[in-house]
Amino acid sequence: MTGRIITARHGRPSLSRDLTLSSREYGDWWARYDESGLTPGERPPEGLVEIASRSKCVLASSMPRAIETAKQLTRNAREIPTDPLFIEAPLPPPPVPLLTLRPGQWGVVSRAFWAFGYAPKGVETHYQAWRRVDSIVARLQGVAADGDVLLCAHGYLNWMIDVKLRRSGWRRTGQGRGNQYWSWRVYEPQRAPHAAPAPAAAE
């Protein structure tokens, strides 16, 4: 019987957001963000730990913050397959040199620029990211054929997966913590409607 697909956002990374940056500085900040693990003392919610314990397979993005999240959720009790296929959608700093913002604000501006087509050479485009999500959904569906699968990944990527899964006939049947760190969403395949009984043959 096909299992559930669960996507989880990583825990809080160990990088301060309490500063203002130019666009160029934000690019450097985001590179450090991708290299950072979790904030010391981070602890996962018990509900997500329970989900991990019941999952037949736990996967993670190849980013340190996602790997550490998966290790905490499984109490380091199993091997965690990682794959760059599951990394976050890119956030290239936009070409607005005179503006200074906090990292969270730059994230919103950068995401908008990227979604409307801004992608410097070598950066994954919005269209390419959606094609990658097609591959992710196909992978998760294949793994879920053998039981529940939990993916530890990233906020925006998980939203993209949510869109594709529901368009593919999966139902979101549970979630926790909104889109905060350590949040999660649970999906189950649509149940086929019961067929109406065949009419009795005329005598």
Nearest to 168 by CA among 193, 136, 195, 194: 136
Q: Is pLDDT of 192 > 80?
A: no
Helix locations, 7-80, DSSP H: 23-35, 46-54, 64-73
For the chain, how far is it from start to end, CA to CA, in angstroms?
A: 40
Tell me the whole-structure pTM to 2 decimals: 0.92
pLDDT mean over 108-123? 97
Res 194: pLDDT: 47
Give the pLDDT confidence of 150-166 residue by residue, as tens digits: 999 999 999 999 999 99
Q: Is pLDDT of 202 > 50?
A: no
d(CA 140, CA 5): 7
pLDDT mean over 140-144? 98
Domains located in the chain, CATH noted: 5-189 (3.40.50.1240)
**Identity (one letter) of the amino acid at 184?**
W
Contacts of 132 (CB under 8 A, 6+ apart): 85, 124
Res 191: pLDDT: 72
d(CA 10, CA 170): 23
